[in-house]
Structure 1
Amino acid sequence: MKHFYLIVNKEKENAEKGAEVISEYLNSHGCECLRWDSENPGSSEYRYTDRKQVPQETECVIVLGGDGTLIQAARDLAGRDLPLFGVNMGHLGYLTQISREEDIVPALKELMADHYRLEKRMMLEGRVVSEGATVAQDIALNDIILSRTGLYTLKFDLYVNGELFNQYSADGMIVATPTGSTAYNLSAGGPIAAPESSMIIMTPICPHTLNSRSIVISPESRIMMKVSGREEVEQFLSFDGDTVVELRKGDRIEVERSEITTTLIQLKQVSFLENIRCKMRQI
């Protein structure tokens, strides 16, 4: 690899210092390392990067932040098929590859020498249909979540491939990818899935029944949730905790596998189980 692009979450401690180390090292070793200036006029719609500013010849996007920064970068660059390499400046960092300053230069050497593997991660596509028209549509690397504010319980019907699966009274529903299985899904009692696998995980949030459990279905399945219940309930749909769409009674939520994938660069030959075990110790 010779052409690199930096995405930096300035809110993370030492992220700027790490960016300087990376940029100086790569540029001094015959590589091109560019960075988007988030203070440029007209760039307010993006949190960390502007996809139009990333050159076509870019071979690797290095993301300095945490899992949230990497997920946002994947959303911003969706469809560009650019490999992402995460440098953890956050807490757990399930998606990032390195988390110590002393590991940065050795990792850059591996990238420059093409000693890595690419891992494809599935994404979800969701849309909100209101009165027969699609009013919102987005993608997610981690999860698409039906939730609410206030104290009222949500009521909704869940369909899989056109067949009614269950009627829920709950605080919401998490529809997660394997990548998102270690996020909110895990906190809500859902299963952990190998990140490179293909499946859709549905986990109800605080269901008001004794028999509601997570469901794991084929990645080719089509999910539909129909919002019912009371008009005064404030409910919404979120995509990776970023895009938020307000919902009304009668709205329909459709979720399926996206044709777009996220590509992550992997350097370490660490098994999925070992990685989970190490991360769990940090909680």
Structure 2
Amino acid sequence: MAKFNKVGLIAKNSDLSVSETLNDVYMLVQNLGLEVLLDSSTRGLLGGPVTVDMDVIGNECDLAIVIGGDGTLLRAARELVNTNVPLVGVNRGRLGFLVDVSPDGKLHELVEIINGKYIEEHRLMLSCELLRGGEVIHRSLAFNDMVMRTKNVIQIIEFEIAINGSFVLSQRADGIIVATPSGSTAYSLSSGGPIVNPNLNALVVQPICPHTLSSRPLVVTAESEISLLVTEKKPVYAQMVCDGQIYNDLQNDDVIEVRKHNRSIRILHPSNYDYHYILREKLNWG
């Protein structure tokens, strides 16, 4: 018997490559007797059904199924984290650390999840603020990471790092990453950062190509407040980037403050989910 009553379907934005899987999931959920709402990202992929905005799914659904890659799930997580609606991902992307339901066969893993047979995780997220002249000019959430990086030029940027108001260091680098445990297998990993188990209450502070041989990543408690001050004296060509999807240009003396968001996102996995198996498969370990 289904554990859920109303399901929202979210897809990679108007991407025809996911339409077949989206249709399979749509028909499956309907055949299980559940009510279905289609997010506006599915517009044009199924033909007739009416679509709704994401906030309607957050207010009315008790499960959201994401069809696409990890990037699609990142967007859904940012928009739904404050609603307590759990997410399950059907993989139509490339790597797929987060969207781990296979679209092959009869979607039996998805059927099991809908019927209440799953592993639930609560993944922490970041709350990021950009301050200019002491005033907050932009707020954003991030599931994987917040990146401060140079923009469109090959040059380093100078900045200071403080944690809980305590000065840590001044650094010259291509940028810096503040990553959640989920994001530790994304940009941070390719920059030489550690893999952090998603159940740990921790954050990774990972410099990007630092101009010193002694710089190392930091792993800090997720209760930390991390502040980044742009101290570069020359005109700054840099950005604050959240999840590789939300971009904001920086100016000299801007401050970025990053902390754990006060709500976590619920992720549902198949009952046979094994984090270390995912690492072996995705990273080609022996």
Q: TM-score, normalised by structure 2?
A: 0.90
Instruction: Report sequence identity in percent.
Output: 32
CA shift, 1:224, in A, is 0.7
Partner of 2:32: 29
Deviation at 1:10, TM superposition (A): 4.9
Q: Which amino acid aligns with 1:187?
A: S
What is the aligned partner in structure 2 of residue 146 from structure 1? 148
| Distance in 2 between residues matched to 1:273 and 1:39, nearest whole Å | 32
Which range moves more in the overlay, 8-17 or 194-203? Answer: 8-17
- Paired amino acid for 1:111: I
Aligned Cα root-mean-square deviation (Å): 1.9
Flag structure 2 segments of 5+ consecutive residues without an equivalent.
44-50
Q: Is the 8 A contact 2:58 2:80 kept in 1?
A: no
Question: 1:183 is matched by which residue type in structure 2?
Answer: A
TM-score by length of 1: 0.91
Alignment of 1:179-218 (within 5 A): 179-218=182-221
Using the alignment, how far apart are the partners of 2:131 and 2:52 within structure 1? 29
Count of aligned residue pairs for this structure pair? 274
Partner deviation per Cα, 1:206-238 (whole Å, 9 max, x = no partner): 001001011000111111111011332301101
Aligned with 1:231: secondary structure? coil
Q: Aligned partner of 2:70: which letter?
A: D
**Which residue, 241, 246, 249 being the options, matches 1:246?**
249
Mapped partners of 2:13, 2:248: distance in 1:
27
1:12, 1:89 within 8 Å by CA — same for their partners in 2? Answer: no
The answer for the alignment partner of 1:170 in structure 2 is 173
Paired AA for residue 272 in structure 1 = Y
Q: Which residue of 2 aligns with 1:53?
A: 56
Cα shift at 1:39: 7.9
Match of residue 71 from structure 1: 74
SS in 1 for 2:204: strand
- In the alignment, what sits opposite 1:115? 117
Question: Contact 1:128–1:252 (CA<8 Å) still a contact in 2?
Answer: yes
Partner of 2:262: 259
Contact kept in structure 2, 1:75 and 1:139, CA below 8 Å: yes
CA distance in 1, matches of 2:16, 2:243: 23
Which whole-Å deviations, capped at 9, do the CAs of 1:1-55 have from their partners, x for residues lacking one? Answer: 2321100115656411111111112212211122123487xxxxxxx97322216
After superposition, the Cα gap between the structure-2 partners of 1:240 and 1:270, relative to the gap in structure 1 and judged at 3 Å, is same
The one-letter amino acid paired with 2:5 is K
The alpha-carbon distance between structure 1 residues 208 and 11, as it changes in their structure 2 partners (threshold 3 A), is: farther
Change beyond 3 A, Cα 1:273–1:173: same
Aligned to 1:82: 85
Q: What is the DSSP-based 3-state SS (H/G/I as helix, E as strand, rest coil) of the residue aligned with 2:65? A: strand
Contact kept? 1:66, 1:89, Cα under 8 Å: yes
Letter aligned with residue 144 of structure 2? N
* CA-CA distance at 1:129 after TM superposition: 1.2
Q: 1:140-199 CA deviation, whole Å, 9 max, x = no partner? A: 110001001202210001011111111100000000000000000000000001112210
Given candidates 226, 231, 244, the residue that maps to 1:223 is: 226
Q: Distance in 1 between matches of 2:144 and 2:58?
A: 26
